[in-house]
Chain A
């Protein structure tokens, strides 16, 4: 599908330092409604930091974040959620002692979705959690907890969804299944940023990828092109393969 011309999120020269370490060092990219953008790069290249800054976990130390025409850099997470940004976590973070249903109810009650949020029962059904609705989230296995993270995010009716390694640890059947769901979400108009190590999965779902290294983007385009760029090969495989 063709993404809208106007980006919903524009990241410009984003900087995030931890002490003397520049986790993000001038990262720039944009994503539009209906588009699935992949963020790829070696470990430590700043992918998760980028997600954390966009979702308000960290305040940026430089650069601008423009979402829906407004500057959102440094805004508190819950306010970003109310504006329509949500995410999942690399290591899922459900409310362990609450039931699956209650986990989602909190998001339904406090998410302040601008449009009526999806029905709880539908969401649980779609992501294979309906049977587990009244069990504590602690009883779920890791991939079920990831789905619960996703359902909780969707309950706030996001317009920009950040998925941090959602696919890691899923089996091939589950991968195909979740890929279908993510594509359907994008078709419904969500902008989606996917951080992922599984290149097959990235190839299957993304419209475009940003390759990151050392806190900034070194390539933007389709994955098929990216794998032929010497600089990209170099950061993934090491210098001697790049020639």
Chain B
């Protein structure tokens, strides 16, 4: 394509089509690399590995919500559907095909994408209607998996026990790799014209089309990327815990927490969901350990305060002052 620098213009036109390479690299080096390094080192110095694993899972899910909600405006109240489907995709591969765990995690991602494809018609809905339909879809998947008639395939409501693949150390490594992948996707969205076009679609789909953006295609890609990371997270979660019931991996807590964490920090940024998970999930565990009797109260007040005073998330404290938050 034409990459000439036109007179009076400071940059070649083709730059806008491509990545903003300098900030892309900077975000990878200054945000993604330290975070991944921290979660690689922490198990050596901190004994509660389950807690660390849960942090990684919620970082993945909050960023997954960020991809679909932050960049396209679809609020996925049934986000856990992809997670649970991924967990059962993993379990079925391990139980029936004796698949090695890392491969089964990849299959879990594929299962997430396939469920996403099946649910693409939901993208015709908007706002609360999409959220409700997505919630219903997640419940439908739960009851499909938990159906006693499918006991020979999914073990139905009786839960699965995957003793053969039990290996929390490797599963943790897998989770950190998936987190790196997820953050990579978000950094790409944040620094590419693709991510900017997605935000344009979120703001006004008609105008985005008049800017030449293929609105349907963009929405589907973001939706499937979001489904992929949740499916992978579900797979690695199944690997880590190895014994679970449908109600565990389809618990609406996953959707709600991921959404609240992402919104608390601020969506459509890289930092927002990370800050949201670290602070809110940190407080969640802190209160849980120290004063569990006040847990619901404190947590509820905190979230209400956020919605009332910082509807655009913590990062809006900075963006309001005109600072650019990566």
Contacts and interface: CB of A to CB of B under 8 A. Distances in A.
- Indicate whether A and B interact: yes
Interface of A: 55-57, 76-78, 81-82, 86-87, 89, 93-98, 102-103, 105-112, 116-117, 119-122, 149, 152-153, 155-156
Given A111-B212, A116-B2, A93 B13 contact: no
B199 interface: yes
B213 A78 contact: yes
A119 B199 CA distance: 23
A110 B215 contact: no
B94 interface: no
Interface string B204-228: 1011111111110000000000000
B9 A98 contact: no
Contacts of A111: 211-212
B206 A57 contact: yes
A230 B305 CA distance: 66
A149 B207 CA distance: 9
Contacts of B211: 81, 106-107, 110-111, 152, 155-156
Nearest to A137: B203
Contacts, number: 98
A153 B210 contact: yes
Contacts of A55: 210
Contacts of A98: 196, 199-200, 203
A96 to B, nearest CB: 6
Interface of B: 2, 4, 6-10, 13, 16-17, 193, 196-197, 199-200, 203-204, 206-215
Given A76-B209, A87-B210, A98-B203, 20 more contacts: A77-B206, A78-B214, A81-B209, A81-B211, A93-B204, A94-B203, A94-B204, A98-B200, A105-B193, A107-B210, A108-B16, A109-B16, A110-B193, A110-B211, A111-B211, A119-B6, A121-B8, A122-B8, A152-B211, A155-B211
B200 to A, nearest CB: 5
Contacts of B13: 108, 116-117, 119
Contact of B6 (A93, A102, A116, A155): A116
B113 to A, nearest CB: 24
Contacts of B8: 119, 121-122
A75 to B, nearest CB: 11
